[in-house]
Amino acid sequence: MALKITVIGTGYLGATHAAAMAELGYEVLGLDIVPEKIEMLQRGEVPMYEPGLEELLRKHVAGIEGSTGRLRFTMDWAEVAEFGDVHFMCTNTPQKHGEYACDMSYVDRAFELLAPHLTRPALVVGKSTVPVGSADRLAAYLAAHAPVGEDAELAWNPEFLREGFAVQDTLHPDRIVVGVRSERAEKLLREVYATPVAAGSPFVVTDFPTAELVKTAANSFLATKISFINAMAEVCEAADGDVVKLAEAIGHDERIGKKFLRAGIGFGGGCLPKDIRAFMARAGELGADQALTFLREIDSINMRRRGQMVEMTREALGGGSFLGKRVAVLGATFKPDSDDVRDSPALNVAGQIHLQGGQVTVYDPKGMPNALRLFPTLGYADTAVEAVRGADVVLHLTEWREFRELDPATLGEAVRARVVLDGRNALDPALWRKAGWTFRAMGRPTA
């Protein structure tokens, strides 16, 4: 009989995973403790902007016309325990307030609520990004608290999806990593992922700590790559070099690779910043803090870029104070094709300039409601052209396609001064300069 799958925690990761499991042909039951989330999902709606996700949900959610009906949602833990052969745990692990460490309370709570209902054999699979050692602890918890005892087994299966590509990354992962303690667990997970494995996704089997570490190591590497090129941008700025050319040239070396070498205002979002900090905190607890002190530098380089963008803006306005200056900001989300503004470098820069007296107007294709909630005191406009109206300087801070397709001549009619600063190295300088703009980008020569 086909496996029955549950997904516990239906945020970004869980909602996508649930829809993907239904797409792979399984009967899926999703659970969340927030009633509004469940009601939305039951209507086939998602609480965030993620290309393709709503379509995939609507294709499978029971009760929606024409759907396969394979995907249902509930708030009932007993129902979930009764239903599932495999339970995917997808609760979030944010940064603790005032500390670097990861807040495990949502994960722990989910295990506490599920375990007492586990009266039949099941595989519980952790997907959240957790401090190494958590799986070991949670396995012991399950064995002690599930009525079925050792037949409630744990596995760890980190998730590598990127926002904006969540559906594609979940259905066609570039690797599947499973931390297991038995052949039975490995066999079950090979069965769950049979379709992507047959299509070529590598399947890597590890122990618990390695599976947990793969995720934090991958994100640390990505953060390091971005901060490396941003450090090169700082040197290029000092030496009048061009970091975009530099990245292109070193990227031809296959050992280095082209990807994740875009210099600019740095990384943000709900993952990279908090994951590298939690990793440092955990290494400290394990007595291995020296191994990760370089991540402190990665974090500092990254945060410095935001300040550098503010200073570049000040310089473009002739130096001195922002008082009375109009600053247009294109982009609010931490990356394009997302409505996520968590730890967004773009909003951080907009906020800093606003706090120093600048009149900031922000436009973003999808992130406006979230930005407005987080920074209600910033100015907002409904279109890019409205945002730049009367501006003394235009900042390009999130690399949406819409911004690359803007016509510099049309925009030029609306501004007070044709000065544009590219914080993402994504606009074409020649195009803007031809339309009479003063164009500056991070880590690139001024002329």
Cα–Cα distance for residue pair 268/342, rounded to 1 Å: 7
Sign of the alpha-carbon dihedral angle for 222, 228, 231, 236: negative
**Shortest Cβ 42–ligand UDX spacing (Å):** 26
**Distances 438 to 409, 417, 418, 433 between C-alpha atoms, Å:** 13, 9, 6, 6
Least spacing, CB of residue 333 vs ligand UDX, in Å: 9
Q: Of 24 and 161, which has the nearer Cβ to ligand UDX?
A: 161
Helical residues (DSSP H) of 193-328, grouped into ranges: 194-198, 208-239, 243-251, 272-285, 293-316
Q: Which lies closer to ligand UDX via its Cβ, residue 264 or residue 358? A: 264
Contact residues toward ligand UDX (CB under 6 A) are 160-163, 219, 222, 226, 260-262, 264, 266-269, 271-272, 334-335
Nearer to ligand UDX, 22 or 222 (CB): 222
d(CA 308, CA 132): 35
The Cα–Cα gap between 142 and 195 comes to 29
Q: How many helices (H) and strands (E) does the chain have?
A: 19, 14
Q: How far is the CB of 264 from ligand UDX (least distance, A)?
A: 5
- The Cα–Cα gap between 94 and 409 comes to 44
Cβ of residue 403: shortest distance to ligand UDX, in angstroms?
13
**Residue (30 or 423) nearer to ligand UDX, CB:** 423
Least Å distance, CB 213 to ligand UDX, is 14
| Residue spans of alpha helices (H) in 395-441 | 401-404, 408-414, 429-434
Rg of the chain's alpha carbons, rounded to an integer? 24
Alpha-carbon distances of 437 from 401, 419, 432, 446, rounded to whole Å: 20, 6, 5, 12
Backbone φ and ψ of 111, nearest 5°: -65, -40
CB of 21 to ligand UDX, least distance (A): 18
Active-site residue flag, 271: yes
If the CB atoms of residues 27 and 50 are measured against ligand UDX, the closer one turns out to be: 50
CB of 20 to ligand UDX, least distance (A): 14
What span, in angstroms and rounded, lies between the C-alpha atoms of 443 and 37? 43
Task: Name the residue nearer to ligand UDX (CB basis): 19 or 161.
Answer: 161
Q: Which of 90, 102, 236, 271 is labelled catalytic?
A: 271
Among residues 153 and 163, whose Cβ is nearest to ligand UDX?
163
Give least dist CB 164 to ligand UDX, A.
6
Contact 91, 110 (CB under 8 A): yes
Pairing between β-strand 152-156 and β-strand 122-126 as defined by DSSP bridges: parallel
| Closer residue to ligand UDX in complex, CB, 332/391 | 332
419-422 and 393-396 as β-strands: parallel, antiparallel, unpaired?
Answer: parallel
As a whole number of angstroms, the distance between CA 11 and CA 22 comes to 16
Contact at 8 Å (CB) between 299 and 276? yes
The end-to-end CA distance of the chain, in Å, is 67
Residues assigned a catalytic role: 271
